[in-house]
């Protein structure tokens, strides 16, 4: 990997997470489409039937949000490989490479699962065969199970990626400045705390969302670009 590839991948990681997080809030703030205002008493079937138009309107935002996060995680795997290649004189950073690859792959898969889970509810119609209500309820429960699987994949991947960051500091101490070391540890802590909050529910879910946003638009992008610049400026290992 050349120097330009290392820096390019760092910017791909940063841009993907910033744009993905931005689109996430475009969805949450209803900037593209507004969900139907249904009474609290509306049952599950009627709620699903009255939400089809909204789901189709917001689908492009949902699609690109998840694709951008998947791109960011895949780029993170390639970024880790590029760093390992440039840091060959430090033993190849085996732990960092192993944990970054594992966590990145799991997280990328977790980002794609919701697309398949939601796609059926958005674009597949319901048959008029006398079982429409059963079909809708089954579809909703299948979607909930798939989204729970994705959520747990994300939690596990977040912890694994946090371990990768700690391993990077331990294995590539000469490559990382004191400032970048502190930033890396801070990012690792947030990556562990977010799934911990979600799993234990010991804080309001808003806390996890806030930390996730902080990681997506600040911590991870700054870390990637900062590390990319450090690696890019380091001497290229001599070849024999």
**Tokens representing 23?**
């689109």
Other residues' Cβ atoms within 10 Å of the Cβ of residue 170: 12
Other residues' Cβ atoms within 10 Å of the Cβ of residue 109: 16
Residue 219: pLDDT over 90: yes
**Tokens representing 17?**
């997470």
Over range 23-48, report the average pLDDT. 90
Other residues' Cβ atoms within 10 Å of the Cβ of residue 91: 11
pLDDT at 21: 97
Residue 174: pLDDT over 90: no
For the segment 91-134, what is each residue's pLDDT rounded down to a tens digit?
Answer: 679 999 999 999 999 999 999 999 988 887 787 766 666 677 88
For the segment 180-197, what is each residue's pLDDT rounded down to a tens digit?
Answer: 999 999 999 999 999 999
Residue 203: pLDDT over 80: no
For the segment 90-99, what is each residue's pLDDT rounded down to a tens digit?
Answer: 667 999 999 9
| Residue whose entry in the numeric block shows the structure tokens 């989204």 | 147
The mean-pLDDT minimum among 6-10, 36-40, 151-155, 183-187 falls in: 36-40
Q: Is-contact 82 1, C-beta < 8 A?
A: yes
Residue 235: pLDDT over 80: no
Tell me what percent of the residues of the chain surpass a pLDDT of 90.
Answer: 64
**Tokens representing 220?**
């991870």
Residue 47: pLDDT over 80: yes
In this prediction, residue 87 has a pLDDT band, given cuts at 50, 70 and 90, of confident
Three-state helix/strand/coil letters over the chain: CCHHHHHHHHHHHHHHHHHHHHHHHHHHCCCCCCCCCCCCCCCHHHHHHCCHHHHHHHHHHHHHHHHHHHHHHHHHHHHHHHHHHHCHHHCCCHHHHHHHHHHHHHHHHHHHHHHHHHHHHHHCCCCCCCCHHHHHHHHHHHHHHHHHHHHHHHHHHHHHHHHHHHHHHHHCCCCCCHHHHHHHHHHHHHHHHHHHHHHHCCCCHHHHHHHHHHHHHHHHHHHHHHHHHHHHHCCCCCCC
pLDDT at 239: 47
CA geometry: angle at 101 spanning 99 and 106, to 5°?
95
Q: Where are the domains of the chain?
A: 3-34+43-233
- What is the pTM for the complete model shown? 0.90
Greater confidence, 234 or 85?
A: 85
């Amino acid at each position: 990997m050349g120097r330009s590839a290392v820096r390019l991948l760092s910017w791909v990681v940063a841009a993907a997470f910033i744009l993905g997080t931005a689109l996430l809030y475009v969805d949450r703030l209803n900037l593209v489409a507004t969900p139907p205002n249904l009474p609290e008493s509306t049952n599950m079937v009627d709620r699903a039937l009255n939400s089809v138009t909204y789901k189709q309107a917001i689908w492009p935002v949902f699609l690109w949000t998840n694709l951008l996060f998947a791109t960011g995680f895949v780029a993170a795997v390639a970024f880790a490989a590029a760093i390992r290649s440039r840091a060959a004189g430090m033993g190849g950073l085996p732990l960092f490479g192993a944990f970054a690859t594992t966590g990145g792959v799991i997280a990328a898969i977790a980002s794609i699962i919701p697309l398949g889970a939601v796609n059926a509810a958005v674009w597949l119609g319901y048959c008029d065969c006398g079982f429409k209500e059963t079909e809708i309820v089954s579809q909703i429960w299948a979607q909930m199970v798939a989204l729970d699987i994705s959520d747990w994949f994300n939690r596990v991947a977040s912890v694994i990626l946090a371990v990768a960051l700690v391993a990077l500091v331990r294995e590539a101490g000469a490559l990382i400045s004191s400032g970048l070391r502190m930033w890396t540890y801070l990012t690792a802590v947030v990556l562990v705390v977010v799934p911990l909050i979600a799993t234990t529910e010991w804080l309001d879910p808003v806390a996890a969302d806030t930390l996730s946003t902080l990681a997506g638009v600040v911590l991870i992008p700054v870390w990637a670009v900062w590390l990319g610049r450090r690696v890019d400026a380091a001497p290229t290992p001599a070849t024999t």
